[in-house]
């Protein structure tokens, strides 16, 4: 179950939210070999005046930024898949958001199967007890 959390600078863009949720889900499933029905996406916005890089706000810098965190179960994706995902997610968000500061980033978080769960059941348990 990948969980995506996307923070974007600026004011909420209600037209962009469903587009990015769909596109990031599709990218995650295609590149990281995940299932759409298990993918969650959270999208939030932070005013440029509250986002700082090297002690200067994005408002002052005249830039936008994003931080995408993707939680996945450890040992379920390869290094090549992760590298491709980072490149393609960055490119997608750069195109959709525009005017990005170079410190916008994609962070893949590998969680051990025994520490990552949904519906109260760990990924390790799901692996050991597959549904028939």
Q: Domain limits of the chain?
A: 3-128
φ, ψ dihedrals at 56, nearest 5°: -130, 135
Structural contact between residues 71 and 115, judged by C-beta atoms closer than 8 angstroms: no
Distances (CA, A) of 63 to 54, 78, 81, 90: 13, 33, 29, 16
113-129 pLDDT per residue, tens:
888 887 888 888 888 88
Rounded distance, CA 1 to CA 24, Å?
14
Compute the mean pLDDT over every residue in the chain, rounded to the nearest whole number.
94
2-57 pLDDT per residue, tens:
999 999 999 999 999 999 999 999 999 999 999 999 899 999 999 999 999 999 99
The CATH code of the domain at 3-128 is 3.30.429.10
Structural contact between residues 43 and 25, judged by C-beta atoms closer than 8 angstroms: no
Q: What is the pTM of this model?
A: 0.92
pLDDT at residue number 127? 84
Q: Averaged over 75-94, what is the pLDDT? A: 97
């Amino acid at each position: 179950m990948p969980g995506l959390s996307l923070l974007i600078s600026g004011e909420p863009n209600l037209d962009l939210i469903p587009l990015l949720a769909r596109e990031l889900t599709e990218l995650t499933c295609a590149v990281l070999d995940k299932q759409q029905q298990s993918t969650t996406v959270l999208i939030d916005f932070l005013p440029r005046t509250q986002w700082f890089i090297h002690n200067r706000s994005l408002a002052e810098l005249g830039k936008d930024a994003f931080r995408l965190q993707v939680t996945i179960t450890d040992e379920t994706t390869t290094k090549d898949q992760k590298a491709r995902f980072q490149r393609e997610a960055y490119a997608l968000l750069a195109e959709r958001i525009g005017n990005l500061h170079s410190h916008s980033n994609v962070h893949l978080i590998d969680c051990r199967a025994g520490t990552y769960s949904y519906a109260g059941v760990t990924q390790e348990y799901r692996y050991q007890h597959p549904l028939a």
